[in-house]
Chains A and B, each alone.
Chain A
């Protein structure tokens, strides 16, 4: 495919996709007899209209940054890791085990412990499909998605039979000790004298997510390993000829990917719930795929796409509250439409747009040099 300018690649095309999705969602809302304009207003106001709304949007976005980065890193090696859901779930298990193992005195200790535990568990869960791919050639798409089911079953088993409080009816761990509590935006901003509502769960893990995004950028474009990953992704044969060991690249890429997905638990399990519940991932592992696709596997794109999906999630929750006629199933339909248009139907817009640019490009337009696909 011919190159198109960077701005068109990372801004214009996602925007057109988004508008299409909004349009079709509007038709769906209209179909059930509600006003699409009002729905849109509730969605926007509920997701970015107040500090409270931002607090939740950024909380969800933090989850999606982690899982989006996880998918993006693997993409660079042409590995399609759709096991983010399971890896993040296992990350939650790691966090829960570590947090309950000791009465943590301070979050400054609990945070690194949570990061290490979640990353290790997430990476370990990705390691098995990675090894199967590297050594046996079992396709990573099949193995990672199957590992999601295994992770879910494992978590149910552990929560129901071992981790829940004796006598409790809910399959969830007891609350973590108070020392494991991560500072929320309310507390962090209070240190510098800025008021922020108390209830939104956005917490220090957001900064961790941004750091992780920067680290991924350094890794992919500024490190030797990143070069090898990209070379392997572009052409396995050429990479092999250049002395790059495929087994090592597959393993390392998937371990990093799994660790990133697992670290989502620092935000969701340690930061928000402060105990491990069933389904702590809430589908973020799958949203990560859409986020990485929409963000073109670039950390900046991933952050922006994650915020967009955070808005959709938070706005969707607000829709449920404000417009009960739009049932929970409808919200899923609207979210799915956005994923469909931005992820799966990307080329539907990309081809005409790139043709358009190509035609205009002959007239003297500048051909973009960027893009990383």
Chain B
């Protein structure tokens, strides 16, 4: 029994030190990896921005597989991290189970809704941002054929695709959009080789603008588009710089803001549902020195007009996830 007591003593010491430590915020990245140049990296940038502003530290971890989610969440909660930000819808069921065990810890989940009193759920209107890049793509396309490469085949990604196609058709009703998904498992977020293959197949069919919503897989999509001399459209982070002259624009999804705001609000943050659309600055299209030569003033005027109309509610972009169907193909 004395052995057990030694163990328990050590455990108690850990618990005490955890409680007395300052409540550092923590972030858990999804399987795409912290440096996917897209979704997770946007979250990372938000955390870094907070760090620069406040000079304080945060804790982070990258997962190796699906089964680690619970351990990672509990590990941070036990260590007294607060709030804990989980980046990605795949944390939903784990958070549903873990959050009630730590009622004094605040959790944030991006891209999914978890109905627990200590969880803030941040979701984005990706269809609005995708609509704008779809318009730009259709105006740029010479062949009238465009491509979309999704990551994992889930309603969330179909929401990107549906918004994109609506934007394309708003400019050119006769345009054709080829759509492919990389896979059906989370591995689809980090498979640039397959992303490139899908993009090449779409280019072979005549596509000259390809939009990806595939996290780390998108690197391959943009690469293939640049290699073939056509245009890619980035997602989540601003990816214009990756292949200057070949990335038409990027659909910005401000995951960085979601992370930054959660860290800023700290343990006393509000919980519940937060929806970020064009109006709230949650999504947008990217325009910077890397793509200003690709987007003519006429294109920009047209898309900015639509942007304002969406904000004003004059254009309503259909949300795939509202009824799990898309009015256009």
* Residues of A bordering B, CB below 8 Å: 49-52, 54, 56, 156, 160, 167-172, 175, 194-199, 201, 268, 272-275, 277-280, 282, 317, 320-321, 324, 327-328, 331-332
Contacts and interface: CB of A to CB of B under 8 A. Distances in A.
A321 B61 contact: yes
B267 interface: no
Nearest to B60: A324
Interface stretch (B69-77, B132-140, B285-293, B307-315): B69-77
B198 interface: no
Nearest to A152: B185
Contact of B78 (A54, A199, A201, A274): A199
Interface string B202-219: 000000000000000000
B62 A320 contact: yes
A170 B92 contact: yes
A136 to B, nearest CB: 33
Contacts of B299: none
A175 B64 contact: no
Nearest to A55: B11
A56 B71 contact: yes
A49 B155 CA distance: 44
A130 to B, nearest CB: 28
B65 A282 contact: yes
Contacts of B60: 324
10 contacts: A50-B13, A50-B14, A156-B184, A169-B152, A170-B92, A175-B93, A199-B78, A280-B67, A321-B59, A328-B62
B189 to A, nearest CB: 12
A164 B7 CA distance: 40
Given A317-B75, A321-B59, A170 B90 contact: yes
A279 B65 contact: yes
Contacts of A196: 8
B89 A194 contact: no
User: Which of the listed residues B64, B76, B97 has the most CB atoms from chain A within 10 Å of its own CB?
Assistant: B64
A371 B138 CA distance: 73
B156 interface: yes
B87 to A, nearest CB: 14
Task: Report the 7 A-B pairs with minimum CB-CB distance, sorted nearest first.
Answer: A51-B11, A169-B154, A50-B11, A160-B184, A50-B10, A199-B74, A51-B7
A204 B234 CA distance: 49
User: Which of the listed residues B66, B67, B101, B184 has the most CB atoms from chain A within 10 Å of its own CB?
Assistant: B67
B78 A52 contact: yes
Contacts of B71: 56, 201, 317
B8 A277 contact: no
Interface string B138-175: 00000000000000101110000000000000000000
A324 B143 CA distance: 47
B289 to A, nearest CB: 32
Given A175-B97, A277-B67, A321-B61, A49 B184 contact: no
A169 B62 CA distance: 21
Contacts of A321: 59, 61, 72, 75-76, 79
Contacts of B4: 194
Interface in B1-47: 4, 7-8, 10-11, 13-14
Contacts of B63: 328
B89 A170 contact: yes
B213 to A, nearest CB: 13
Given A52-B11, A194-B4, A160 B185 contact: yes
Contacts of B62: 320, 327-328
Interface string B98-132: 00010000000000100000000000000000000
Given A51-B11, A197-B11, A277 B66 contact: yes
Interface of B: 4, 7-8, 10-11, 13-14, 59-68, 70-72, 74-76, 78-79, 89-90, 92-93, 97, 101, 112, 152, 154-156, 184-186, 324
A275 B92 CA distance: 13
A331 B185 CA distance: 23
A134 B75 CA distance: 47
A277 B70 CA distance: 12
Contacts of A280: 66-67
Given A51-B8, A198-B101, A268-B67, A171 B61 contact: no
A2 B265 CA distance: 69
Contacts of B13: 50
Given A156-B185, A171-B185, A50 B66 contact: no
A50 B64 CA distance: 24
B186 A278 contact: yes
Given A50-B13, A175-B93, A320-B61, 17 more contacts: A51-B7, A52-B14, A54-B7, A167-B155, A170-B92, A172-B66, A172-B93, A175-B97, A194-B4, A197-B11, A197-B78, A201-B71, A273-B67, A273-B70, A277-B66, A282-B65, A317-B71
Contacts of B78: 52, 197, 199
Nearest to B90: A170
Nearest to B68: A317
A50 B5 CA distance: 10
A80 B60 CA distance: 40
Nearest to B154: A169
A169 B185 contact: no
B25 to A, nearest CB: 14
Nearest to B33: A328
User: Which of the listed residues B65, B76, B152 has the most CB atoms from chain A within 10 Å of its own CB?
Assistant: B65
B7 A328 contact: no
A195 B112 contact: no
A327 B155 CA distance: 31
Nearest to B89: A169
A273 B97 CA distance: 10
A272 B98 CA distance: 12
Contacts of A277: 66-67
Contacts of B61: 320-321, 324
B150 to A, nearest CB: 12
B34 to A, nearest CB: 9
User: Which of the listed residues A56, A170, A332 has the most CB atoms from chain B within 10 Å of its own CB?
Assistant: A170
Contacts of A324: 59-61
A272 B97 CA distance: 12
